[in-house]
Amino acid sequence: MMRRRPIRGRDTADPEGVDRIESYRPALDSWLAHLSFERRLAARSVSAYGTDLEGHFGWLADRGCPLTEVGTGEIEAWLTSLYKAGYRASSRARRVAALRSFYGFAVRGGLVRRDPAESLPGPRQGRRLPRVLTVDEARRLVTAPAGDAPPARRDRAMLELMYGLGLRVSELLELTLDRLDLESLFIRVVGKGSRERVLPLGGASAHALSAWLVDGREAMLRKGGPAPPTIFINQRGGRLSRMGFWKILKGHARDAGVERDLHPHTLRHSFATHMLEGGADLRVVQELLGHASITTTQIYTQVDRDYLREVHRSFHPRA
């Protein structure tokens, strides 16, 4: 069973209010189970969508509106209240996506007769181009871990894989030994929606990974304790967390002199951009990144065009 989460934004001292909110709970739990077990979304995404819908149901409960009577007007009024409260367009867009998914599910399951979110337009969002490193910044960053100590070997291997394969941080931290083939230089990665892709290891990635597995990982494992299946571990011999990787990345970025607005996804953005700048086909980059739609990959062509424009302006005498 899925754990029941508390509804936020409500006065729990008001029994009648709690009862009204809890009337939406069976539908919400069914939808969250659908997202987890049928659509196989990541736990973080399911939690975020659940929080969004709890806010929506709390708003409906305050107005005494049961689920079967929700119309487009109620949904638009709720979204308007979010706008007035200062929610960013990206936050409102996520809530629109949650509403569309939930009410579509509710119609198919017979929980409501009509879909009040069917024709709901999403808020317009400015398209922000991803932050990318220069080739020199990327080189300095991945070579920043110095020495032959086990932590340094681990960090070099992680950074080489992140930049060399364009991995998401979740994909990196979930890599297991049984998905690695160092002899053939391939690794199997499980991405969003549990979609699997097989990626080739480059020379630098393979060398760093081999050095970590041969001379580093065993030394960091807990003596006598169970070894985690993941390739990368922390200094206590357990699984490395997202926060742990973030701290490692920040530390090496400082050492490399790369400190401006750096986050784990920056390495993935840089991988895609540098591949396209080098002449790689867009479809190949889409496959390597594991994008379901090429539209998602196309944003990097805009980054490439901006880079060309910047170079042109910098070096052409009449630019």
Q: Which tokens sit at 63?
A: 């107005």
CB 49 within 8 A of CB 101: yes
CB 102 within 8 A of CB 58: no
Catalytic amino acids? 168, 192, 265, 268, 291, 300
Burial class (CB in 10 A: 0-12, 13-18, 19+), 253: buried
| Integer Cα distance of 241 and 110 in angstroms | 41
Residue 85: C-alpha distances to residues 8, 258, 275, 317 (Å): 16, 36, 41, 49
CB 164 within 8 A of CB 209: no
Q: In what order do the strands lie in the sheet with 180-181?
A: 180-181, 186-190, 196-200
| Integer Cα distance of 117 and 27 in angstroms | 16
